[in-house]
Structure 1
Amino acid sequence: MILRKYISLLGIGSAQIDLILEKETYSAGEEVKGYFQIKGGTVVQKLKRIECDLVMADIKEEKEETVETKTILTTKSIQSETDEHIPFRFLLPDALEMSAGTLNYHFRTRLVFDKGVESKDLDVIRIVGK
């Protein structure tokens, strides 16, 4: 048991997060709905927070800009080998540029534990005209 605990601190067998969205295409100002799916690892882990950034990426310019961040603070313990869902709602800003060519958007999600490495997820979305 102690060996599994130390291995999870290195990220092996730790809990994982996945943002599941209802769809991939949105308009500026629209509400994004979905849920965070958290799968427990091999040992119980204490969760500190879930961070989810909306990121605008310009591939040609090789730069990323965080547009907005949503943080859920918690002291919840993630039990081993469980599957939990936490609702997700995010209101997109009205002033977003449309996705086109080298400009795209994605949600970068991090599951931050009291001890151990973070679990990360990335979900691309497309912004179209209203």
Structure 2
Amino acid sequence: MEINRSGEVVKGHFLIKGGTISQELKRIDCDLVTFNRTDEREEIVDSISILTTKIIQSEAVNKIPFSFLLPNNARLSTDTLSYRFKTRLAFKQGVESLDQDAIRIIQD
């Protein structure tokens, strides 16, 4: 789990592992999402998209860099409010892959 502050740039990479056959990756969509445990409501805070034509070879491991600017007005993570990055990979054959990773926003 990453720990960051509002207004910071989160830098990292998407780690994409090839499956049993080679596929052409068309797009990566990544949403910063809040989840409120009180009312079980999820809300998209911000999104990024990366368009590509990268071939993901079978069994290969690929790293695609990204950066994401956290909003200055992002609320702090609490016991009832959490954040995560939800990532979707879209491939040329129409296959979609989903993943999510938690992130905490703390005070300066």
Q: TM-score band, normalised by the shorter chain?
A: over 0.9
> Partner of 2:84 in structure 1?
106
Q: Could you say which residue in structure 1 is the equivalent of 2:98?
A: 120
* Segments of 4+ moved more than 3 angstroms: none
- 1:61 aligned residue: 39
- Would you say how many aligned residue pairs link Structure 1 and Structure 2? 108
Cα displacement (A) at 1:76: 1.7
CA distance in 2, matches of 1:99, 1:38: 28
Which one-letter code corresponds to 1:97 in the other structure? R
TM-score by length of 2: 0.94
Q: Which has the higher contact order (CA 8 A, sep 6+)?
A: 2
Task: Give the Cα–Cα distance (whole angstroms) in 2 for the partners of residues 37 and 85 of structure 1.
Answer: 5
Q: C-alpha distance in 2, partners of 1:63/1:115?
A: 32
Which amino acid counterpart does residue 82 of structure 1 have in structure 2?
Answer: A
Q: Identify the structure with the greater helix proportion.
A: 1
Question: Percentage identity across aligned positions?
Answer: 55
Instruction: Give the TM-score normalised by structure 1.
Output: 0.79
Deviation track 1:72-108 (CA, whole Å, cap 9, x = no partner) reads 0112221111111111211100000001121010000
Give the unaligned 5+ runs of structure 1: 1-22
**Looking at CA atoms only, which structure, 1 or 2, has the larger radius of gyration?**
1
Indicate the structure with greater strand content.
2
Superimposed CA distance per residue, residues 47-92 of structure 1 (whole angstroms, 9 cap, x where no aligned partner): 1100100001101111111011110011222111111111121110
Alignment gaps of 5+ in structure 2? none
